[in-house]
Structure 1
Amino acid sequence: MTGRPITEDDLHAYIDEALDPTRRGEVLAYLDAHPEVERRVAAMAAQRRALRSALAPVAEEPVPPELSLARIIEARQSRWRSRWVPTWRSAAAAVLMVGLGGIGGWFARGTAPAASGIAALKEEAAANYQVYAADHIRPVELRAGDREELVTWISQRLKHPVAVPDLSRSGYRFMGGRLVATPHGAAALFLYDDDRGTRVAVLVRPMEVEGDTPMSPHREGPLAGYAWADRGIGYSLVADAPSASLHPLANEVRQQADRVGAASSISAIDSLKRKRILP
């Protein structure tokens, strides 16, 4: 073993059969020690096989004749030879638009739009909670004692100052955190637990859309949580606990994040003033 943590990227590469033999052996050993992750990976692999099997006939279909590039060019040249020049231009544009629309519809048939914004953030928080909060061997990469190193690492990767929320007043100890992969880039995952063994996760990442969104509740199966975005950074708190008990925790995280964001804005303004960019 190299000691390198097994990441979500490693799990996806394992499913895609894209790992080198050494790393594949490490992932297999990790899965043997983590049955809940092994079950999730097995389900993802089965889904991949099912999708490939279902889409294989579509990939083998010939391009429809009406979408043939040669036919489109022939139609365009034919209209060029006509004496109504303005007419051929309109028709050629129409043929091209129909062709492009047909191609898009042909390749996109049967696909569903992927979640984005806050909806995606909620799904990502729940998915990572299911993987890491249930892990009793290595739920985090850097533990609470390495808080300073964790904050520096996460802030650099997210290109935004990030502080670890303090939930001790509510009875939750900070366990540590890790960097996780999402379809929308890197994200920070912070984990907490209380004396009853309840674990709470806070996912933080930059938002390309819905960068300022009010807090709203969400539920993914047995998991409940709250998500919101402020100043282009999204937050989602999630746990296997009643939604009502999580609302005060989410408010606490939001208030602390607001203070960090305000301090960051003041620091940025001071920096611009020192550089004489602002008066």
Structure 2
Amino acid sequence: MITLPPTEHVLHAYVDHQLDEADRLTLETWLAAHPDVALQVRQWQEDAQLLRAALSGDLQREANPELDPAFIRQRLRRNRYRHFATAAVLLMAVSIGGLSGWQAREMTLSNATPPMADAVQAYRMFAVNDTMASDWNPEKSNDAQQWLDRNFARAERLPNMEAAGFRPVSGRMTSTEQGPAAMVVYKDEQGRTLSFYIRPPGARNHMLPRGSRLDGDLQADYWSGDGYNYAVVGAAKDEATQRARQALPASI
């Protein structure tokens, strides 16, 4: 004796002609009053008829439970639930990993950018171009350190490279995504140049260990300290600039 409203198991039993006469009549009376469920049952019946027609020759063989319409519908439902579960797991992974994904992206970009690349670019743009306007030069003030301190009060002192023949001759302010940066250009009597560059660290310019790298014909020596990144940039294969680099304090 079935109970109403019918369970899905009872509905499948009805579609597969597994109910006795009394239960069948009871269910059909209930379905007549519930057209939405009756529509679903009719669709199941149509599916069962199509399956039986497609397998009409095989139906003469020994019964195969895997070909039973009810079994097939259950398997389809299980697969659908499995897909829903997989989608839910993926959604959770995307939600939880969103922030980590952006952090990984920034780390990838950081790794793809050579250390102090902007210091090398600034040297190429300004250090060897005497026609570029400067924010500081000896005519405006005889102390480059005072000019630099106005924007970088806690930064390390300018390197003193006078022993190698290099003196500050100009300074220029630039900008980065993290804040202002500056470059002080040094020259010797033969017009050879070196630059001292200072900038705040950022996602692509994190705090750096002391290092050196070549960029074409230029060499960049870089380090970090007191909350800033620094670099000295100049010709890589010039004896005078190499002597100036050797004169830098060991603490730099």
Scaled by the length of structure 1, what TM-score is found?
0.46
Residue matched to 1:136: 130
Question: CA shift at 1:194, angstroms?
Answer: 1.5
| Partner AA of 2:214 in structure 1 | R
The SS at the match of 1:158 is: coil
Q: CA contact under 8 A between 1:140 and 1:191: conserved in structure 2?
A: no
Q: CA contact under 8 A between 2:182 and 2:197: conserved in structure 1?
A: yes
Question: CA shift at 1:167, angstroms?
Answer: 1.6
The SS at the match of 1:177 is: strand
Residue matched to 2:166: 172
Structure 1 residues 253 and 144, CA gap change in structure 2 (3 angstroms):
farther
Q: CA contact under 8 A between 1:125 and 1:236: conserved in structure 2?
A: yes
Identity, % of aligned pairs? 19
The SS at the match of 2:115 is: helix
Residue matched to 1:194: 188
Query: What is the root-mean-square deviation of aligned Cα atoms in Å?
Result: 4.2
1:122-179 C-alpha deviation (Å, 9 max, x unpaired): x111100010013121353210244567534433423524533322210112202121
Q: Using the alignment, how far apart are the partners of 2:122 and 2:208 within structure 1? A: 23
1:93-136 C-alpha deviation (Å, 9 max, x unpaired): 5424247869x98x9xx999433699432x11110001001312
The SS at the match of 2:126 is: helix
Residue matched to 1:211: 207
Q: CA contact under 8 A between 1:211 and 1:234: conserved in structure 2?
A: yes
The SS at the match of 1:143 is: coil
Q: How does 1:97-116 map to 2 (within 5 A)?
A: 97-98=93-94, 113-115=108-110
The SS at the match of 1:97 is: helix
Using the TM superposition, name which of 154-163 and 110-119 deviates more: 110-119
Q: CA contact under 8 A between 1:165 and 1:253: conserved in structure 2?
A: yes
Aligned residues: 166
Q: Using the alignment, how far apart are the partners of 2:114 and 2:243 within structure 1? A: 21
Structure 1 residues 166 and 188, CA gap change in structure 2 (3 angstroms):
same
| Partner AA of 1:158 in structure 2 | F
Q: Which runs of 5+ in 1 are unaligned?
A: 1-81, 83-87, 259-279
Residue matched to 1:242: 237
Q: Using the alignment, how far apart are the partners of 1:168 and 1:114 within structure 2? A: 38
Q: CA contact under 8 A between 2:155 and 2:228: conserved in structure 1?
A: no
| Partner AA of 2:234 in structure 1 | A
Residue matched to 1:72: none
| Structure with the bigger percentage of helix | 1
